[in-house]
Amino acid sequence: MVRILGFLLCLSCVLVPSEGISRDVVPYAAQKYKKMLTKESYRLFGLNPPVARFAAQITQESGWNPKAKSIYAAGLAQFTPDTADWISKLYKSELGLRAPYSPSWAIKALILYDKRLLGNFIDYKGYDPIKPCDRWALVLSAYNGGLGWTYKDRKLAKQEGKDPNKYWGNVNTVNAGRSEASIHENRGYPKRILKRYEKVFFQAGWTMIPPVCGEKPKPKLFSKTLSSIILQSGDGYLVMVGDDLLTLKIDSSGEVVSINTSGNLITKIRE
């Protein structure tokens, strides 16, 4: 039961019409995709997904503008054409053909890519294991600048006598060869997501899972909220999220295998 408490959500949050994000408010455009992001996070990532972290990342990538386009990338999650093609082939059953301007495709691709990157960083022997805050910083650094560069930075950090299992104050202080502009952007990317934006979405009630970095703030309480209800029945859980009654079916290992709403199967993860 404890593992599933992350599904409890606050129904309303403080919103302002804004293209960007301040330290205290969620972008107005984000609300449109809140339900989609939450459902896909549980379906693709598993129990206790970092919904606020994904939301913070989308904020950084595109400001929640599905039509966002930069020199190299496009869409909510700002995938380059090559990376979009690669991840579409890798997760063909989930993503189909690349469609970076589709909010659904972009959200699913971002979650799947982050989850894959999480498994790419092993501990260097002789050092303390990678902590969650450092691991997610490495993941986001790789998402932004490429996994190869993050590998090179860790290797260089070790060569210079720093701790390759610690991103903050160690890996993020070296440069394995990127331009000044590229390294400046890459180093700011995890910092803004993990130490600023994630807290905003957490305090707005997008998740009950606290930010992975820094102090653990308490979620803000709002006057207009709808309490979530959890009832356990066999291998399933009934969860009220906003106006939706969801049924999560859990297998013996504690993983979500399907999500139903109002009696209709919306997601079957596996048989």
Q: Judge whether 2 and 235 are in contact, CB under 8 Å.
A: no
Burial 49-81 (b: 16+ CB within 10 A, else e): bbbbbbbbbbbbbbbbebebeeeebbbbbbbee
Q: Judge whether 213 and 196 are in contact, CB under 8 Å.
A: no
Helix (H/G/I), strand (E/B), else coil: 249:
strand
Distance CA(253)–CA(270), nearest Å, equals 14
Helix (H/G/I), strand (E/B), else coil: 86:
helix
Which pLDDT score is estimated for 260?
A: 61
Helix, strand, coil percentages (3-state) for the chain, rounded to 5, are 45, 15, 45
Q: Judge whether 74 and 62 are in contact, CB under 8 Å.
A: no
Distance CA(254)–CA(248), nearest Å, equals 11
In which residue are the tokens 């939706």 written? 244
Which pLDDT score is estimated for 30?
A: 96
Which pLDDT score is estimated for 20?
A: 47
Q: Judge whether 79 and 109 are in contact, CB under 8 Å.
A: yes
Residue 236: what residue type? Answer: G
DSSP H helices, the chain, are 34-45, 51-62, 81-90, 92-95, 103-118, 132-145, 147-159, 180-192, 198-203
Residue 153: what residue type? Answer: D
Q: Judge whether 17 and 192 are in contact, CB under 8 Å.
A: no
Which pLDDT score is estimated for 15?
A: 34
- Largest Cα separation within the chain, whole Å, is 58
Distance CA(8)–CA(207), nearest Å, equals 7
Using alpha carbons only, what angle is made at residue 113 by residues 108 and 119, rounded to the nearest 5 degrees?
Answer: 135
Distance CA(268)–CA(106), nearest Å, equals 20
Helix (H/G/I), strand (E/B), else coil: 259:
strand
Which pLDDT score is estimated for 104?
A: 97
Q: Judge whether 157 and 149 are in contact, CB under 8 Å.
A: no
Per-residue confidence in pLDDT tens, the chain, 271 aa: 334 334 333 323 333 333 445 546 899 999 999 999 999 999 999 888 999 999 999 999 999 999 999 999 999 999 999 999 999 999 999 999 999 999 999 999 999 999 999 999 999 999 999 999 999 999 999 999 999 999 999 999 999 999 999 999 999 999 999 999 999 999 999 999 999 999 999 999 998 889 999 876 665 543 333 334 344 444 555 554 555 556 666 555 545 555 565 444 444 444 4
**Which two three-digit tokens encode residue 220?**
């803000």
